[in-house]
Structure 1
Amino acid sequence: MFRLLLLSVGMMFMLSACATSVEADPNSPVVSPTEGAGETPAQVNPYQPLESDAALQRGEAFLDSTDVLILESYPVQINLVLTGNLPTPCHQLRIAVNQPDEANRILVEVYSVVDPEQVCIQMLQPFEATYSLGSFPSGSYTILVNGEEVGQFDS
């Protein structure tokens, strides 16, 4: 009987330890885990072209769909969601975005890079990437990906 009582007390102790949680103050500001941590450009945009890409061979990125997301924030933030395939699993996705031109067109270039000396299985590698374009001054903008219009928005 004493063992049963000791076992049940031990179980209650373990369950209560698992059940305790710390609730966040609802009035405290939300902070990104990397905010203020000295982000590098590769952390902000993991798909940005790199200096080391000069030694790599440029390839295609086959796009199946592109979506423009307008986030409800102030200022308005624009995201680009890309889905498609890379030629092989060894290819790395690159996204290069130019500043809006005089006609407020945002030109986005999506491609891949690969080491030509690397031996790789020949099969398509699916990808889905969300790329933050950021915010823009007031105006109407058109987004073109690899020369094709994919959406418009007003800022």
Structure 2
Amino acid sequence: MKRRIDNSSLKTVKLVTILFMIFTAALSGCVDNGQNNTDNRTDDSANESQNTGTEEYIYGVANIENIEILTLESFPVQIHVIAEGYLPDGCTEIDEIKTETEGNTFNINITTKRPKEAICTQAIESFTKTIPLEVRGLSAGNYTVNVNGVNGSFELAVDNTLDETPDAMPPEQ
């Protein structure tokens, strides 16, 4: 006895088989990284590993387009540097701002970080950062500010110190 398979039954079997393979492939990507882990850790060590970031980053230097140096009207004088720049994509962010002083030069280094495996928007993101400089106690003179290769300068007309000597105090009455 021969069994005849019609065309529509064959198409249905093929369709079910293809859908099953697609469904299986889709679910295979939904496995949690910890499911296949056979470590014999205690609950405390498992909690610690969940709290520490294991994400790797790519570090770089921020692109600075312009700096502006503001002298605040106070005594002692306060100096703020406004740095304007851009980040190359939507995942990159400012990591650290470090200020070092060498003689009459303030070197400011603005670094960035970006998750290594992130998929990001490719739109440039602009930023503005205000960075206060530690100028209390500086002598009068000209000073240079370097922010990632962009330079500016400011001048202190007088020594930036408060004279708090007992002679400067008014006599008690």
TM-score bin, normalised by smaller chain: 0.5 to 0.7
> 5+ unaligned residues in a row in structure 2: which ranges?
1-52, 161-173
- Give the deviation of 1:87 after TM superposition: 0.8
Query: Which of the residues 95, 98, 103 maps onto 1:96?
Result: 98
In structure 2, the partner of 1:86 is: 87
% identical equivalent positions: 27
Q: TM-score, normalised by structure 1?
A: 0.57
In structure 2, the partner of 1:119 is: 119
Query: Which letter does structure 2 place at the counterpart of 1:116?
Result: K
Q: After superposition, where does 1:14-33 map in structure 2 within 5 Å? A: none
Q: Distance in 1 between matches of 2:113 and 2:147?
A: 17
Contact 1:60/1:87, CA 8 A, preserved across alignment: no
Contact 2:145/2:151, CA 8 A, preserved across alignment: yes
Query: Which letter does structure 1 place at the counterpart of 2:131?
Result: Y
Q: After superposition, where does 1:38-77 map in structure 2 within 5 Å? A: 55-77=56-78
Contact 2:87/2:125, CA 8 A, preserved across alignment: yes
Q: Distance in 1 between matches of 2:150 and 2:66?
A: 12
- Give the deviation of 1:118 after TM superposition: 1.6
Q: Distance in 1 between matches of 2:86 and 2:69?
A: 19
Query: Which letter does structure 2 place at the counterpart of 1:109?
Result: N
- Give the deviation of 1:123 after TM superposition: 1.4
Whichever of the two has the greater Rg, that structure is 2
Specify whether residues 147 and 136 from structure 1 end up closer, same or farther in structure 2 by C-alpha distance, changes over 3 A only: farther
- Give the deviation of 1:130 after TM superposition: 1.1
- Give the deviation of 1:135 after TM superposition: 2.9
Q: Distance in 2 between matches of 1:105 and 1:64?
A: 19
> 5+ unaligned residues in a row in structure 1: which ranges?
1-51
Deviations 1:74-101 (Å, cap 9, x if unpaired)? 2211101011211112111232111x22
Q: After superposition, where does 1:123-142 map in structure 2 within 5 Å? A: 123-139=123-139, 140=141, 141-142=143-144
- Give the deviation of 1:60 after TM superposition: 3.6
Q: Secondary structure at the match of 1:109?
A: strand
Q: Distance in 2 between matches of 1:106 and 1:128?
A: 18
- Give the deviation of 1:110 after TM superposition: 2.0
Q: Distance in 1 between matches of 2:78 and 2:88?
A: 31
Q: Secondary structure at the match of 1:95?
A: strand
Q: Distance in 2 between matches of 1:115 and 1:153?
A: 41
Query: Which letter does structure 2 place at the counterpart of 1:153?
Result: E
